[in-house]
Chain A
Amino acid sequence: MVLRIRLARFGKKHAPFYNIVVAHARTARNSRPLEVLGTYDPKPQAPRPGDTHGRPWKDIKLDISRARYWVGVGAQPSDTAWRLLSMVGILEPQYRVGKIQGQVVRADSAAKSLVPEQTTRPAVEALDRVEEVKAVET
C-alpha cells in the first residue's frame, strides 16, 4: 500500500482548514489517517499589531522531524504537500517558480530598505555596464 502525505479538508463552507496527514493512498480523504503531521490554514492572517509594514501570513503547524521520517520511509507527498514540505527544506522543490518568486520578494524588500545613497550606486554601476557592453559591441 502506498503511503501518502496529503491534506484532509476540514473547516466550514468558504472557510477551509486542512490537516496535513499521513494516510494510505486509497483511503477516503477525511478518514482517520495513520498520523496527523500538522495543519495548514490557507486563509491569510492579517499582519500582527505593531507590525507596521507587515505582510499577511499563513499559519502552518508541522512536526518537521516526523515529516522527515515519513518521507524517509517512502511516503509520497501530494503536490500541495510537496510544496509545503519543500518550504521547510524536507524536499527539493518540485517547481522552481516559487523559489524564484521568493528571491524576487527578498530582492524587492532589500531594494526598498536601502538608503537613497546606496540606491544611486547600482544605477551608476548599471550605467558603467551599459558602457562596457557598448565598448564590446564597437
Chain B
Amino acid sequence: MPLRLRSAKFSPSSASSQFPSCPPTRPQCITQSAQLSRDFSQTSCQQITLRRRKFYEWMNGPGRQLKEPLPDSTNYLGAYDKYGNLVRAGPGWQRNNAKKEVADNAPAMKAEEVTKDPEAEPEKAPEGQEDLDELELAIREGEAKEKDSKAASKAEKDDGKLPPETAEDLRPFPLNQYFRSQPVLSEDLREAIYKRVKKDGATVSLASVEFGVSNERVGAVVRLKQMEKEWIAQGKHLAIPYSKAVLDMLPTTPFIDPSQAANKGKRPITHEPINDLIVHPATRQQLFVPVSESRHFTRVDAGKAFDNALLPADARIPHPELIQAEREVSQGLSFDERLRLAEARLAKDQAEKKRLEDAKLAEIRAQKVVPKRRWDFVFKDVSVESVGRDGRDYKGVGWRYGVPHEDRKKGQVKIPTKVEA
C-alpha cells in the first residue's frame, strides 16, 4: 500500500506555509507520479523520502526563480539567498518588469553592449594587470558605470533596474566560495581579434597587448575563427543558438570599438593578465648557489644556475617588448624618440613575419600538383645528394637503411606539439 503511505507522509500545506509569497506550482506532482507508476516499474524508490520532499519544497520555493533564467545576467545559485530572492536586486526591482524591459528594447541592448559611454574618464579605465580580482572588479565597475549612465538617461525606469553582478553573484557553487565564474571573450571581441590579426596583419603579440588577451588565447581565437569561416564557406551548419545561449549565461568581456566616436578616450577592457611568467619546470627546485661577493650576478646567471639552456626571466615572459617600452620611459627618452623606436621594432616584426610567409608560399609554389580523381599528388623536388657520402645522413631523403627505429626509445614525443594555423 505505497499510495496511502505517501499521502500520510506528505502534506503539501506544510511545504507551502513556509513560503507564503510563492505558492507551489506543482503540489500534485508526487500524487501524479503515483498514478503514473506501473507494477512492472523497476524504479527502486517509490516512496516519499525526506530528500524527495525537501527537493520539491525547494523546487516550489527558492528554486522557482532558477527555473526561468534571468535575461542578460548570470543565473548562479550564489546570487540568491536561501528564500530565493535575488540579493543584488533593489527594492523596486521585479522579475517580470525586467523581462518586459528586455523584450521591449532587445535590439537596442545588443548595440549598447558594444558602444560604451563617452563620459568615462580614461584614468579610471581598468589597468590593474597584476591582480585578477582587481581586474575583474574593474570590469564590473565599467559595466556598472555604463548601466548607471543608461539608467540616468531613462529616469522613469531607474528604480526597476537590476544592478550588475558583484563577485558574490558569480559563484555557481554556494559551498565553494572561492570558485568564481571567469568572464569569457564576447563574440564581438573574438571577431575583432581575428580581423586585427588576419586582415590587418598584426602579430599575435601586438594583438595580445592591444586587446588585453593572452598570446595563447589570441592564437586559439584566430585558429577557431578561421575554422568557423571555413565551415561557413563549406555550408556546414553551426550551433549558433547553443553558443548564444551559453554566452548569455556567462559573464563576458565586451569589446570596445576604438573607431567609434563614443569610445574616444576609452581603453579596451583587459580580459586577463597577459605578461605572467610561466613557471619553468627547471626552476621548481630550490637552489643555493655560492657566489663570490665581487661577482656581478645577474638574472641571466640566475637562469643559467637552474639550467644551462634556461633563458632569463626577462626573455621568457610573453611580452618582453612591454618591459623595453617601460625602460625607454624610465631612461627619459622623448615621446617622438620612443615612437620611432617602437615603429622600428614593429617594422622588424612585420618583415620577419612576411619573410616566413613568403618562404612558405615559395615552397608551395615550387611543388608540382597533379590532380587525380580523389586526391592531388603533390611532388616535391629533392636531391639524392642529401644523404651524404656514406649514405647515412639523417637529412637524406627517404627511410634510412641500417638504422634502427627510435620510436620506442625513451623521450620520443609522438603527439603533435604544434598545429598549422
Residues of A within 8 A of B (CB): 8, 10-11, 17, 19-21, 32, 35-39, 44, 48-50, 52-53, 55-64, 66, 84, 87-88, 98, 101-102, 104-106, 109
Task: Specify which chain B residues have a CB less than 8 angstroms from the CB of A11 in the assembled complex.
Answer: 399
- Kindly report which residue of chain B lies nearest to residue A98, judged by CB atoms: B372
The answer to whether A39 touches B397 (Cβ under 8 A) is yes
Q: Which listed residue, A20, A50, A60, A106, touches B377 by the CB 8 Å rule?
A: A60
Query: Which 5 residue pairs spanning A and B have beta carbons closest together?
Result: A10-B399, A36-B398, A19-B398, A57-B376, A87-B370
- Kindly report which residue of chain B lies nearest to residue A30, judged by CB atoms: B401
The answer to whether A58 touches B377 (Cβ under 8 A) is yes
The answer to whether A49 touches B421 (Cβ under 8 A) is yes
| Binding stretch for chain A, among B243-251, B275-283, B378-386 | B378-386
A35-B384, A63-B381 are contacts. A49–B420 as well, Cβ < 8 Å? yes
The answer to whether B381 touches A55 (Cβ under 8 A) is no
What total of A-B pairs shows CB separation below 8 Å? 101
CB distance from B236 to the nearest CB of A (A): 11
A14→B421 CA distance, assembly (Å): 28
The answer to whether A63 touches B382 (Cβ under 8 A) is yes
A48→B401 CA distance, assembly (Å): 31
Interface centre among A60, A64, A101, A102 (most CB of B within 10 A): A60
The answer to whether A101 touches B382 (Cβ under 8 A) is no
Task: Specify which chain B residues have a CB less than 8 angstroms from the CB of A32 in the assembled complex.
Answer: 401-402
The answer to whether B375 touches A57 (Cβ under 8 A) is yes
Task: Specify which chain B residues have a CB less than 8 angstroms from the CB of A20 in the assembled complex.
Answer: 398
**CB of B368 closer than 8 Å to a CB of A:** yes
Q: Which listed residue, A38, A84, A102, touches B371 by the CB 8 Å rule?
A: A102
The answer to whether B378 touches A57 (Cβ under 8 A) is yes
The answer to whether A56 touches B421 (Cβ under 8 A) is no
**Cβ proximity bits B184-227 to A, threshold 8 Å, 1 near / 0 not:** 00000000000000000000000000000000000000010011
A52-B233, A52-B234, A53-B233 are contacts. A36–B376 as well, Cβ < 8 Å? no
**CB of B113 closer than 8 Å to a CB of A:** no
Task: Specify which chain A residues have a CB less than 8 angstroms from the CB of B380 in the assembled complex.
Answer: 59-62
Task: Specify which chain B residues have a CB less than 8 angstroms from the CB of A98 in the assembled complex.
Answer: 372
**CB of B128 closer than 8 Å to a CB of A:** no
A and B contact pairs by CB, cutoff 8 A, 12 listed: A8-B399, A19-B398, A20-B398, A39-B398, A44-B374, A49-B227, A49-B421, A56-B375, A57-B376, A58-B378, A60-B377, A62-B382
**CB of B151 closer than 8 Å to a CB of A:** no
The answer to whether A55 touches B371 (Cβ under 8 A) is yes
Task: Specify which chain B residues have a CB less than 8 angstroms from the CB of A52 in the assembled complex.
Answer: 230, 233-234
- Kindly report which residue of chain A lies nearest to residue B402, judged by CB atoms: A32
**CB of B387 closer than 8 Å to a CB of A:** yes
A32-B401, A32-B402, A39-B398 are contacts. A87–B379 as well, Cβ < 8 Å? yes
Task: Specify which chain B residues have a CB less than 8 angstroms from the CB of A39 in the assembled complex.
Answer: 397-399
The answer to whether B379 touches A50 (Cβ under 8 A) is no
- Kindly report which residue of chain A lies nearest to residue B382, judged by CB atoms: A61
**Cβ proximity bits B4-38 to A, threshold 8 Å, 1 near / 0 not:** 00000000000000000000000000000000000
Q: Which listed residue, B223, B370, B397, B421, touches A61 by the CB 8 Å rule?
A: B397
A59→B398 CA distance, assembly (Å): 12
- Kindly report which residue of chain B lies nearest to residue A106, judged by CB atoms: B371
